[in-house]
Structure 1
Amino acid sequence: MPIPERQGVIPRALLRENAFRTIRDAIVDGTLAPGERLNDAELAQWLGVSRTPVREALARLEEAGLVQTKPGRYTMVTPLDIQAARAAQSVTAAMHELAVRQSVPNLSPEEIETMRAANRRFAEALHTGDVDAAIASDDEFHCVTVTASANSAISSVLEQFTPILRRLERLRFSSLNARDSVALHDRIIDFCAAGDAERAALAARDNWLSLDPLFDVECPDDPPAQ
């Protein structure tokens, strides 16, 4: 059988998406710190790709508010910005409210149990101070209703704005009240299980608006002097 000409070649779109997600995740988890300079050649070497997908990824990250660029001078990880985080919070809360309202009629008992299991893992991670596990289980919890809503626009908006909040959550993890966070999740689950879409949606909104303690921190808004 003739060997396909493109066998083993990774599509450019996939390279671009992988570069975007890897750099984004490194910014969110603090591997690339606020204010850190970014060099596309170094990033390309780190990712094992050419500079083109890296540059395209950085352009998307700039649109998402995670990277700042001064043409001909620097590209850097955006410093933490409380105003931007508050804006992301309001948008994220609204999207999760909508996702829950649309998803409740479609949720199966298995999906409700997936939410309960994720919340148990979330509670344990908060108790032990495991930031990575807490955020992963929180993402899993909310992913159930976002997926069940079958609304691609919600997913697209959350893809852009959630990382801004996650950066702050990782740095201010100790500010979260574990008991309150778990209880808010339980309220969402109970209303979902009861088929009460409106109260479940409002509980989801309240859950994201409860992150206010995260904003009680001084954050530099301007890039370092050149």
Structure 2
Amino acid sequence: MPLPAGQVPLARGLLRDDVYRRLREAIVDGTLTPGEQLRDGELATWLGVSRTPVREALLRLQQAGLVTATPGRSTTVASLDARAVRDAQAVVAALHEVAVRAAVSQLTDDDVRRMRVANKAFARALRRGDAEAALAADDELHGIPVKAAANEAVRAVLEEYTPVLRRVERLRFSSLRGRESVALHDQLIDACAARDADAAAATSTRTWQTLTPLLDQATGDQL
């Protein structure tokens, strides 16, 4: 399994969650590609940790649908699977609706301001065709109401299943269809600013549903 050179080793004693996140990010950003074999020894060397947190991370990644393990054989980066992606989309959309509805009354004026700043960064990134920056800005924007909702169960599930969608979004956020999200983000932010929980929740759901054509195209290309 070829690994990129120059990776900075993780500090000793790093929590297994950090190993999990590093491997997850490598799958989402394409450093580790679909079908690539994952050997825990090589990954441990790459990250500068023991094999134990790597093995634990691979199990979590398997549960999230990002890794495929064949008993007695090999562990590989999972290919994009249409059903898994659509299942993840349904879960992510529903939980963001829950989070937004709960967050509206808790959001501060500064929270709303930061959402607007994130959406402007998102729009600029899309104009440049910079998928990585677009994803970062999108995460920032949607993360604000999730944090304000203070629902740990929602946050944990979103953290597990959002990366399944991000693999597809990364491929498609330079398209014109991806730019539809900018206007929906504005509507979401306006509803949050007006403290209209029903409108904000409905707009949040529509925002995640706009991914459907992108998911259909991307998974169709991969399958």
Query: 1:55: Cα distance to partner?
Result: 0.7
Query: 1:178: Cα distance to partner?
Result: 4.4
Correspondence list, 1:1-226, <5 A: 10-11=12-13, 14-214=14-214, 215-217=216-218, 218-220=220-222
**Are the counterparts in 2 of residues 15 and 49 from structure 1 also a CA contact under 8 Å?**
no
How many pairs were matched up?
211
Q: Which residue identity lines up with residue 216 of structure 1 in the other structure?
A: Q
Equivalent-residue separation in structure 1 for 2:86 and 2:70 (angstroms): 25
Q: Which residue identity lines up with residue 146 of structure 2 in the other structure?
A: V
**Are the counterparts in 1 of residues 68 and 76 from structure 2 also a CA contact under 8 Å?**
yes
Equivalent-residue separation in structure 1 for 2:30 and 2:172 (angstroms): 12
Equivalent-residue separation in structure 1 for 2:19 and 2:200 (angstroms): 36
Query: 1:219: Cα distance to partner?
Result: 5.0
User: Equivalent residue for 2:4?
Assistant: none
Is the deviation greater in 177-186 or in 56-65? 177-186
Is the deviation greater in 99-108 or in 174-183? 174-183
**Are the counterparts in 2 of residues 127 and 178 from structure 1 also a CA contact under 8 Å?**
no
Equivalent-residue separation in structure 2 for 1:107 and 1:86 (angstroms): 30
Q: Can you give the 5+ residue segments of structure 2 that lack an aligned partner in the other structure?
A: 1-10
Equivalent-residue separation in structure 2 for 1:143 and 1:15 (angstroms): 22
Instruction: Mark the CA change 1:61 to 1:176 in structure 2 (over 3 Å): closer, same or farther.
Output: farther
Q: Rg larger in 1 or in 2?
A: 1
Q: Hey, which bits of structure 1, 4+ residues long, moved more than 6 A?
A: none
Q: Which residue identity lines up with residue 147 of structure 2 in the other structure?
A: T
**Are the counterparts in 1 of residues 12 and 48 from structure 2 also a CA contact under 8 Å?**
no
Instruction: State the secondary structure of the residue aligned to 1:32.
Output: coil
Query: 1:124: Cα distance to partner?
Result: 0.2
Q: Which residue identity lines up with residue 70 of structure 1 in the other structure?
A: T
Q: Which residue identity lines up with residue 20 of structure 1 in the other structure?
A: Y
Normalised TM-score (structure 2)? 0.91
Normalised TM-score (structure 1)? 0.89
**Are the counterparts in 2 of residues 176 and 213 from structure 1 also a CA contact under 8 Å?**
no
